[in-house]
Structure 1
Amino acid sequence: MNDLDCRQFVEQVTTFLEGDLGADAEQRFIEHLALCDGCDRYLDQIRQTTQALRDLPAEGISPAARANLLNAFRSRP
């Protein structure tokens, strides 16, 4: 039985996409993905967003604004 819920899945998406999940965690992630259409769509949205953002020039945002955005995302519960 897969004990990974949708909230935990969302928390692990970035780690999964970066290839940094351990073998057991990755297996639970993939099993959940196979059973949950909502998480399947969420993962696809994150992949599309990541791809779209890769095309933006890095110099388009000031270092201070970048730091503020990263801090805001990191501090979200």
Structure 2
Amino acid sequence: MKRFSCGEVVELTPAYLDDGLEEPVRLLLEEHLACCRECGRDLDQFRTVIGVLGALPPEPSENLREDVRDRLMSAFRSRKGH
């Protein structure tokens, strides 16, 4: 049976988060995620980044870089209980 490497999982993660994978591929990816903590953490980070970016206003502000950094740091800290 085919198994995905961590690199393949990283490449497929955006499509996975967009529900863009066919069921057999999705199931193989989820099987990998179930036994690979590192890829699970990467998936959580992808979700955090997508959530932060989705909360940004459509027009970039003059302080976009700082706003993104601050929101990401806040999201990561809240996930880790800091």
Q: TM-score range by the shorter chain?
A: 0.7 to 0.9
Post-superposition Cα deviations, 1:8-66, rounded to whole Å, max 9, x if no partner, equal: 000000000000100100000000000100000000000011001111111117xxxxx
- 1:42 is matched with 42
- Between the aligned partners of 2:55 and 2:35, the Cα distance in structure 1 is 32
Q: Distance in 2 between matches of 1:2 and 1:48?
A: 29
Aligned ranges 1:63-74 → 2 under 5 Å: none
Structure 1 vs Structure 2 CA RMSD: 1.3
What is the aligned length?
61
Q: 2:25, 2:42 → 1: CA distance?
A: 18
Matched residues in 2 for 1:35 and 1:7: separation? 15
* Unmatched runs of 5 consecutive residues or more in structure 2: 62-82
Q: Is the 1:2–1:31 Cα contact (8 Å) retained in structure 2? A: no
Match of 2:13 in 1: 13
SS for the counterpart of 2:59 is helix
Question: Structure 1: any 5+ residue segments left out of the alignment?
Answer: 62-77
Structure 1 runs of 4+ aligned residues shifted over 3 Å read none
Residue identity (%): 34
